[in-house]
Chain A
Amino acid sequence: QSALTQPPSASGSPGQSVTISCTGTSSDIGAYNYVSWYQQHPGKAPKLMIYEVSKRPSGVPDRFSGSKSGNTASLTVSGLQAEDEADYYCSSYAGSNNVLFGGGTKLTVL
């Protein structure tokens, strides 16, 4: 199975909103509501930001939201802040005890 598809880059100015897409297939994103998103700053470990498509773990600001339509999941960051600049990875359960990640999107805060 191939990795999920994400745009390599995204950008926005402080205070703006930006949406990052994650495209899979009917065997992964389209089949399950088990999509998650991770934030990774350079040289750091990933951090869970969204799970089960749209749920936020405790401590994650509500500026981060997730959604899904068909085979595509999306992460929206509202009210962009400088500290949101990072790489973002989507992930989905893909059946048969397998998990797929996306290739990552570098978010730049202009």
Chain B
Amino acid sequence: EVQLVESGGGLVQPGGSLRLSCAASGFTFSRSGMNWVRQAPGKGLEWVSYTTGSSKNIYYADSVKGRFTISRDNAKNSLYLQMNSLRAEDTAVYYCARQYTSDWYYFDYWGQGTLVTVSS
């Protein structure tokens, strides 16, 4: 059974940093592209970042480019999101999501999310 479990969320002050983790199981993690997608409270979904299985190709939404860094450790079946220079508008539930098919912009399995709150 495919499982994705996020962790690392919490309360952080504006300008601060946070590192999210996503533990994957039930599939060959190293062969799967992975994404981070976020959802502000009561709002819609927003794609954040993507990495191929080998980390060769990495993409970011303009809203986080230069502040967030996606990475993965295939030996640990884990995906990460390092978030720096956090802003109030980064407050959201952050989901990790697996790429579906050969096209990276479809997401079939999602974790339950971890809440990041940016506030003073």
Interface of A with B (CB < 8 Å)? 1, 3, 34, 36, 38, 44-48, 51-52, 57, 89, 91, 93, 97-104
Whose C-beta in chain B lies nearest to the C-beta of A34? B105
Q: How many residues of B contact A (CB 8 A)?
A: 23
Contact residues in A for B37 (Cβ distance below 8 Å) = 46
Q: How far is the CB of B31 from chain A (nearest CB, A)?
A: 18
Assess whether B45 is interfacial by the CB under 8 Å rule.
Answer: yes
Given that A36-B105, A51-B100 are contacting pairs, would A98 and B111 also be in contact in the complex, using a CB cutoff of 8 Å? no
CB pair A48 B111 closer than 8 Å:
no
Interface of B is mostly: strand
A19 CA / B103 CA spacing, docked (Å): 26
Assess whether B1 is interfacial by the CB under 8 Å rule.
Answer: no
Contact residues in A for B95 (Cβ distance below 8 Å) = 45-46
Contact residues in B for A101 (Cβ distance below 8 Å) = 44-47
Contact with A57, one of B44, B105, B108 (Cβ below 8 angstroms): B108
CB pair B105 A45 closer than 8 Å:
no
* Extra inter-chain contacts (14) besides given A44-B112, A45-B113, A57-B108, CB under 8 Å: A34-B106, A36-B106, A45-B111, A46-B45, A46-B97, A52-B103, A91-B45, A93-B103, A97-B59, A98-B59, A98-B61, A101-B44, A104-B43, A104-B45
